[in-house]
């Protein structure tokens, strides 16, 4: 009996044998850009994304669900929009912090999110204000909404529910920016470490139980860790302990956890293996970063799933058809026999990606992706 797309993904996560490797490319950026610019291929005009996914023979990546909502108690949020610039003030009893995001007409045209150009923590005094916000953030189950979303996906995919970033990377990426975050770690280590511990404990006490008791199966917690911005030494000290504790907790409830690996992980792949996460998804590989798919498979071992394998650049017209097919041969060789692997694009089918190549990959999977690959 043929497996559904959901069953194939679950097999990959659980270390079981799928009948065929799953093919789950993310089409959202391509679809949104083409829809907004009126350049969808004629065969797809007027069709929603779900119908296009079916027509292209791919599973649904299903990232739109959520299992909780949040509310910040005792904080006034004021939003001021000025053209393409948006300022958000968070007013607390002990101080105010603000963020600024910037859009551009070019990004708006293709549906890309705005860039945060001003972070909440700018001065040493801001640490206490941010901690107040974190300590007063409450999490409320949204299980019925998730069940509705899950039912809408059905057998076409397995929801991977996003639950935010882990403390250290959220601190660097969102609260301070990378450069200031590392400078503050040297200049104000006590403030930084107190903030990180507050984040850890608040997530553990408030968010983890809501997620663990939810009807979801797979959760995305952490994104864009890299050899450059989260190098091994800092990863070991500030990320591994949290990730291991979180993964162990979730595994105790039968849940699976993943990291969005759309970055250069060549120098931190051992840390990813030791994190106890079940999967690293949108795993980007050479030629976009130094590590190959074969090297990643070997380094991560037999207990960790990879979701990815197809760098978005090989779907571009600038890459010859011959090189594209050679690369796909390399993928099938690297993942044989097909355990703990979901074929996807790292990170997305881009607006200029060739539809013909995405379709061709689907045909290759049908012809060559049966388990065990290469038998």
pLDDT band for position 109 (50/70/90)? confident
Percent of the chain with pLDDT over 70: 100
Confidence of residue 111 (pLDDT cuts 50, 70, 90): confident
Question: Cα separation of 316 and 325, whole Å?
Answer: 13
For 318-350, the DSSP string reads: TS-HHHHHHHHHHHHHHHTT-TTEEEEEES---
> Average pLDDT of 286-310?
98
Strands (E), 51-182: 68-72, 76-82, 85-92, 95-102, 115-118, 137-141, 160-162
Q: Which residues are within 8 A (CB) of 52 and not within 5 positions of it... i.e. 6 or more apart?
A: 27, 31, 44
Question: Among 188, 182, 184, 253, which Cα is nearest to 217's?
Answer: 253
pLDDT tens column, 222-231 = 999 999 999 9
- Model confidence pTM above 0.85: yes
The topology under which CATH files domain 5-67+139-165+200-368 is TIM Barrel (3.20.20)
Tell me what percent of the residues of the chain surpass a pLDDT of 90.
Answer: 97
Query: Is the pLDDT score of 44 beyond 80?
Result: yes
**pLDDT at residue 112 tops 90:** no
* pLDDT over 80 (residue 260): yes
Kindly report, residue by residue over 134-173, the tens digit of the pLDDT: 999 999 999 999 999 999 999 999 999 999 999 999 999 9
| Average pLDDT over all residues of the chain | 97
* Residues 19, 7: Cα–Cα separation, whole Å: 9
Residue 48 structure tokens: 């929603």
- Report helix, strand or coil for 288: coil
The mean pLDDT value for 31-38 works out to: 95
Asked if residue 257 has pLDDT above 80, the reply is yes
């Amino acid at each position: 009996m043929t497996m559904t797309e959901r069953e194939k993904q679950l097999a990959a996560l659980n270390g079981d044998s799928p009948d065929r490797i799953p093919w789950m490319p993310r089409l959202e950026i391509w679809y949104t850009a083409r829809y907004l610019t009126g350049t969808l291929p004629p065969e797809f005009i007027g069709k929603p994304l779900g119908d296009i996914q079916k027509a292209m023979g791919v599973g649904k990546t299903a990232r739109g669900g959520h299992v909780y909502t949040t509310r910040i108690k005792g904080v006034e949020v004021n939003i001021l929009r000025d053209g393409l610039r948006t300022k958000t003030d968070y007013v607390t009893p002990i101080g105010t912090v603000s963020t600024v995001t910037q859009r551009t007409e070019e990004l708006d045209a293709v549906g890309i999110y705005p860039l945060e150009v001003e972070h909440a923590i700018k001065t040493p005094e801001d640490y206490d204000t941010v901690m107040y916000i974190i300590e007063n953030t409450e999490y409320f189950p949204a299980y019925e909404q998730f069940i509705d979303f899950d039912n809408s996906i059905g057998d076409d995919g397995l929801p991977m529910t996003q639950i935010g970033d882990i403390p250290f990377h959220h601190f660097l990426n969102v609260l301070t920016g990378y450069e200031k975050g590392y400078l503050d770690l040297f200049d104000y280590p006590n403030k930084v470490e107190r903030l990180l511990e507050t984040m850890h404990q608040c997530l553990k006490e408030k968010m983890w139980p809501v997620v663990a008791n939810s009807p979801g199966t797979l959760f995305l917690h952490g994104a864009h860790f890299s050899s450059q911005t989260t190098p091994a030494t800092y990863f070991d000290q500030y990320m591994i302990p949290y990730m291991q504790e979180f993964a162990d907790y979730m595994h105790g409830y039968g849940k699976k956890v993943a990291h969005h690996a759309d970055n250069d992980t060549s120098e931190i792949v051992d840390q990813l293996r030791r994190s106890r996460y079940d999967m690293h998804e949108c795993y980007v590989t050479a030629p976009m970063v130094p590590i190959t798919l074969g090297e990643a498979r070997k380094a991560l071992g037999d207990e960790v799933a990879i979701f990815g394998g197809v760098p978005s650049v090989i779907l571009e017209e600038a890459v010859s058809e011959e090189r594209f097919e050679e690369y796909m041969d390399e993928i099938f060789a690297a993942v044989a026999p097909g355990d703990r692997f979901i074929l996807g694009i790292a990170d997305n089918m881009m607006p200029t990606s060739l539809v013909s190549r995405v379709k061709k990959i689907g045909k290759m999977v049908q012809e060559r992706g049966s388990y065990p690959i290469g038998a």
